[in-house]
Structure 1
Amino acid sequence: MNSFQTPSESMDQPANREFTQTLFLSVSDDLFGIWHKKGYWQPLNPAWEKVLGWTEEELRSHASWELIHPDDRDSTIAHFTSAEAVEYEYRMRHHDGSYRWLAWKLIPGDNGTLYGVGKDITETKHTAAKLKERIEFEQLITSLSDQFIQLSSDGIDEADGIDEAIQHTLEKIGEFCECDRTYMALFSEDAATASIIQEWVAPGVSSIQPQWHDFPTASYPWGMAKLRNLEAIQISHRSDLPPEANSLKQALELTGAKSVTIVPIAQGNHLIGYLGCSAVNAEKTWSDDNLSLLQIIGGIFANALSRQQAKFQLRESERRFRAVFNQTFQLSSLLTLEGDVIADNQTAMDFCQLDSSQVLGYPFWQLKCWTISAETQQQLKTAIAETATGKTIRYEADILAPDQSVITIDFSLKPLRNENGEIELLIAEGRDISDRKQAEAKLQAAMEDLEQRVEERTHELKDDVLTIGKAEAGKLTFKPASMDLIGFCQDIVDTLQMSISQQHSIKFVSHGDCRNVQMDEKLLQHILNNLISNAIKHSPQGSEVKVELTCEGESAIFHIQDQGIGIPPEDIKKLFSSFQRASNVGTIQGTGLGLAIVKKSVDLHGGLITIESEVGKGTTFTIILPLQSMAE
């Protein structure tokens, strides 16, 4: 008789099946066990001790409910007493006192027992929690940034609005960082003293703002040295402070702060104050997100406090562009109008794993990342050509990563113009959205909208600042030339009417011979565009804006009349000053520079501008200009 057995016949033997089952249980990372109705687990494999640290004897000595996290206990008991198979997640205490997340599949057996298979999902839970925290972090930054951007278009006096926004932001910082006190301090001009000007405290925590007013900064040399170097101070334990920081340690003890994070607030490299976050009730270990949040908010505060400084705005916008280009997480490249690369930011260099010699001077579409297909390259070349004519192009593109994998980027091309409005360069930007496209779709849309609004407002303010800067410096040119004034006005009215569609109607009438006059077209366009646009913005939809031109004697008289909200009498005298707007404009957009530019343009013509207005009924601007203006 042949005694040979096939592998399947061998495995079917009881002894072999038992051996196989024992081997499988011994190597599995999953927990196999039997829960007895007496209230304890009987482990069936070594994974229990590996995952939870408990031996079988120790598990038998504890009722299973004792090891379940208190917050999960009631729901877990309900699942364990169910007569049906269930899948459930709960936290179980490790031998070292920590808790592990376990995902269980439970099948009821005989006599009230349960057969269970459990998997350790602690790392998965932690990863999900970190992702959620990151999304909440970015959403918080977006909402706070948007709050300060919106503030820039409100009213002529932002002081109260900024104070309210800062107070709200300090509260949000405290909630996100889970600390007990947040505050902002500003230095005197010579940085000899500092004062806490805004503070938020959690319930039950005392305020320190009244006591910390005009305190001498020289008393804290260690901390001031850090801040002057624009370094953050992070202290989780007061005992961690070095001996030279003893005065700071005493200050923390005096204020009850057990842990503190402080970041500098600076305009450029000029230190103007600091932003602080303190833990009072218990010591705290600060996360990277805590520090990043404070640093970002510190920057937002600095911009808000210096918004009305026109010269600083210009320097800051230029510095911000360089910082964003070199430090942003986006892939950014500067291109010629023909599409040749003249600069790549560090993010792009790192991503492509290339040095400048392999990038600069080459057509952008010939870079290796764009060689995924001929269609992709052609689409890019077409986009560059269209952007060179003034269009902004944006689309999602698949490109090659250095490891030859395909990633999706949010790609855009924008023209960069000089002060004369001429396109000099193109900027290409790309952001990897492969891993976060679905999870962060809403957040991404909000960020893109935010960036667009910031860009539009920055360009608008920059153009107005440049014009008013030239005017105040006496460099705004006045070049009168012969022109048909009626045709010129009609063109402006037609263009504006097309841009507003049927929301308003603009009625233009003229009287007298206005065909051959001497005026500066560019300055006159500033005057009419601004006054008619303002009339439209401040009038209800469906109303009429009337533009009347009369040429008589040696003068041209313009009347721009609306049926809008009107101007309070106390605001009229200051409307022609820079950064001044009527107090009743609410959320209507504007920079506060338009009427200042109009006044400068009228003055250069040797003309006169007056205002007649009644709140709630409308406003009429009257401009009188010489028909034959002569250049000086």
Structure 2
Amino acid sequence: MAAQNEPIKLPSPGEAIDRHPITVCPEIPLSKAIALMSQRGLGIEPELTSRNHSYLIVLEGERMAGIFTRRDAVRITAEGANLQGVTVSEVMTTKVITLAESEFKDIFAALSLFRQHRIRHLPIVDEVGQLVGVVTHDRICQMLDPSSWLKWRRVAEVMETEVVIAPLTASALEVVQLMAAHRVSSVVICDTAHTGGRLPIGTITEADILQVPVMAKDLAKIQAQTIVRELPFCLQPTDSLWTAQTQMQKYHVGRLVVCDAQGELVGIVSHTSLLLSLESVEEIYRVVGSLQTQLAVLEREKTELIQRQNTGLTQLVEERTAMLQEQARYDRLLAEMLGRIRQSLHLEEILQTAVTEVRQLLDADRVIIYRFQPDWNGIVAVESVVIPQLSIFGRFIEEPCMPKMIERYQQGHWSEIEDIYTANLSPCYLEMLAGLQVRANLVVPILVGEQLWGLLIAHQCSGVRHWQQLEKNLLQQLATQIGIAIFQSELYRRAQTEIEERKQVEMALAGAKQELETRVEDRTAELRATVKQLEWEITERKQAEQALWESQSCMKLINNIGLSLTPSMSESDAIATTIELIGKQFPDLRVAYTKVDHRGKLEVVEAVVPRWLPVQPENGQQTQTMIPGTGYQLDLQDYPSYLAQLRSHKSIIIDKLTEVADIPPLKDFLASLGVEAYLQVPLPLPECCVLSFGANSPWRWSHYEMTTIVEVADYLAVRLKEIRAQQRRATAEAALKRQNLKSRLFTDITLKIRQSLRLEEILQTTVMEVQHILQADRVLVYQVFADGSGKAITEAVIPGLPAIMGMSFPEEVFPIEYQNLYAAGRVCALADVHTEDAQISGCLAKFVATFGVRAKLVVPILQGDRLWGLLIAHQCSGPREWSDFEVDLLQQLANQVGIALAQAQLVDAIQESERKFRAIFNQTFELVVLVRPDGRVLEANQTALDFGNINCDDVVGLPFWETHWWQISPETQSQLHDAVVRAAAGDFVRYEVEVFGVNTQVLTIDFSIKPVKNATGQVVFLIAEGRDISDVFAALRERERAEGLLKASLAEKEVLLKEIHHRVKNNLHVISSLLDLQSRTMDNEKDRQLFADSQTRIQAMALIHEQLYSSSDLGRINFGDYIKRMALQLLASYNVGSKAIEYDLNLQPLFLNLETAIPCSLILNELISNALKHAFKERQKGKIFIELQKPDMYHLTVSDNGGGLPTNMDWQKANSFGWRLMRILTKQIKGELYVKNDSGARFEIVFRELNYKQRF
């Protein structure tokens, strides 16, 4: 796989460096250097030997002084310089291009320098400039694996078309001058007599020139044809570069010429050309390598992410379901608890009810309310404990760490400890908790307005405890309600105190008046003083009455707001109602509710109109829909000081707007509304919300107004928090109700679907129920067939719409690419098919237009991974937004339909299997009885009943051994009883036994009884089978007797046949010996040769009988083994030991009968004998190839690499005995003989095995 991913298998930089180059000193004579480079006598180009001689590195000590290459030598030769006395230092290249080894990261760095400086040798140096080695074109080409990148490039892409050529008549000096002038390393010698003058004869390279041991002045006398190198191979422009590289390595050359179809020169390919093709893929190589690395990382990360997401989603669904259920239970209990708390206005009773209910709900060991003192220490004011021993009621607790936590508690933060010994607590805090027997606790602050009143604390003393989020939310909500209850109780207590004070004042006044009347006559002088005193007291009383009225007005307003705000009311309605009630309480003031969002944008959410700002009537009707100022927005980002003042929840009081300048954002807006006095009170909410009041004239804000507005703001904030909590709770309850509704509907429809196992009823029930629930215009089931077409097989449609059921549609309506998407689980919900997002075109667009479809919901019906069909809902009356509930419900119903369809098909298969079983059970010719493990008969097939001429009722329920068949004897019944016991234990029992048949006829049966087990290995019933073998028994005994006679006769005949083969073989050998003796008495060589040929033919037939004699099969022989033995025998017979003649055998182990083997052996004898006698007369060595194969027919091939047949010979008319014998025998075996005379003779016989009728 790595080889496939890597576009080029590149050598490492270290492999490309030749670390042992040839080095010389500067003083070496030039002639000696050229002789060293020429390597005369090797017969190949020196640059392709194991050591590169195309250059010399000149060293002065350890320093590289220069480089001398073949091109330098050719250049000097072309210039005609006298080489006598010239040293290498005088002609070498001193400005050598080098590359540091640390910068040699890959071979592309070397290729870049080759191309840039037009060089072929690049020395590699270390950090101090000393020579490490040399990189050359040829070295890189030898190290490359061409199969990975050259196969797909053509020669025409990289070949050099401007080739330097010379005629055969040119001198060697002219060739050298051409090389030097064109700076090439080779010249192609062409036949100028040919048309065009570009018929290549060979090449002359720099290496060839250096092989000539003469000076430049003698080169003019040498013709090019004397030193030209013949072309080993010519490339075609369409050949691959892999072919070029392979041929260069094969013939040890550095370049090959390229010819067209007429053989004319069109270009030349060298190692430089190959490396140019490599440079073109440099960037691709780097990009592909980088992409592959990134792809591997992405694939690994994607796999890990999918696995984590799948696991996380599963856990999240389970956790969310459990959390919603637990949240619903806690909300219900919290509502009940708050109801009981609100039934009382007495603080002690409220707090005691709260801690008792919380402890029972949380199942905690102790719940307390800790009330702060002015110094932030506190006392356990209220307590509920599980056992009296844990009580700490009334204990004053001085907590040294409390001042650090006060600020967090004032901001509404809570704290939790699951285990005090692992929570990293301070030693003092840990000691205090341990002294209170606390192991885990949960602490929530109780805030009254913005003041920290105390703490609601749950203790777990028995052990560590993990506090659930629901428990934390419950305690926090309860703390909020306790704060509200404390606030209401404090208001109630304050009102009661004021009433009591008023009664005392009234009583004092009544006593004073009575005393005044009784003493009026006597104390006239004191009356004036008393009147003054009374006037002062009356003034104080009016002030007290005014204060009491103000308090009652505030309480009344708050009560009215509390009665008007319901938990089910939305936040906007609650704000509107509150602002309206405040406006009625203060009719001369303009009241508004404003919000500032996180971006600093102020918006007037709600406002009421004062009496001095009437609303203009529209069309003569008074309207309240357009209130001046509502919806006003202002960006406060440019007023940071004012924005900071709002967000810090500080009140703003302005008696006269024209006298202040620190609220520039609102000044113009308020002035446009006629407001001259302004009061702003923030609500204690997390976000920035403000109650604003405006007057149409300078206004001195009274204590009553300030107190009432602040109290209302605090109360409104509390109620808004309650409404938000209620809304969150209602949202959760609605989600749970939707889930319950979906589950109930899904369960009801699934039960109705599964009430039937018939396909038609399942589908009809589905579409009717879905239409009823979704109130869709049409619901149908569309089945998809294997060829891509489909059909609407079931439909529920409202009256007046065209029916689709029964209509078939081609694949174009539902193309295969869409089928694949739905098979992968796609769900399509379109609100309006006429929008551009619907992307409906073609046949499907025509379909929706024909049937008036405006909206559709499509889910797949799957059976395993296969798309069975689609469940489709249509809305034709208009567009329709399909809710997630409807989509999810339809998808789950489609899944159930798929399951029901699979079950229906399974039932059909079971019924079909039962029908087949009954047919087989009753129609089998064997006796079959089904038996319970206790031995009682369950059922018997018709064959068994007919066997005994009895009815099924006669045996069912009876012990098997007491039935009619087994009453032949007590021993038979006992044997069957034992067999049933063994089978019930799990054994298979089989034996032959005599039983009663028709009319108590005694028959022999082959009887077996086997157990049938369930998945747990328990035997559930037994199958008893019997087959009447009475006739078989008699025939078997007769057959055994006949087989014994046949075996004895066959053994005698086999011995006789082997003896015949042995005697035939001996007789043939005797004949062969007689022929040999007779041939020795003859003087005529031709006659002796005829006798020798006859002798070899007889020996070939004798060898067949010898192999048959030793074979286990007297009718067939292994002809492959026969050929080996015969070939060796003929080689020895013809006495060719002075010649190195070998066999090359490719033989399959094929068997032939005697009728085919004998003719084939004679033919083979003739072919091998002819090869041994005639093929190698003029050669001392040779090879004979024999092949026996059978692809379809038998193919026997004999060939040699000898001199071949005479060119004027017609083998079909040859009249020699051997040729006539081969033609006759080939015809006898109904075969064909094919002769080919190319680089030796080749004979191939194609035949089939002869099959004659047996004669015995």
For normalisation by structure 1, the TM-score amounts to 0.36
Identify which of structures 1 and 2 has the higher relative contact order when contacts are C-alpha pairs closer than 8 Å and 6+ apart: 1
Hey, which of these two has a bigger chunk of helix by percent? 2
Larger C-alpha radius of gyration, 1 or 2?
2
Hey, which of these two has a bigger chunk of strand by percent? 1
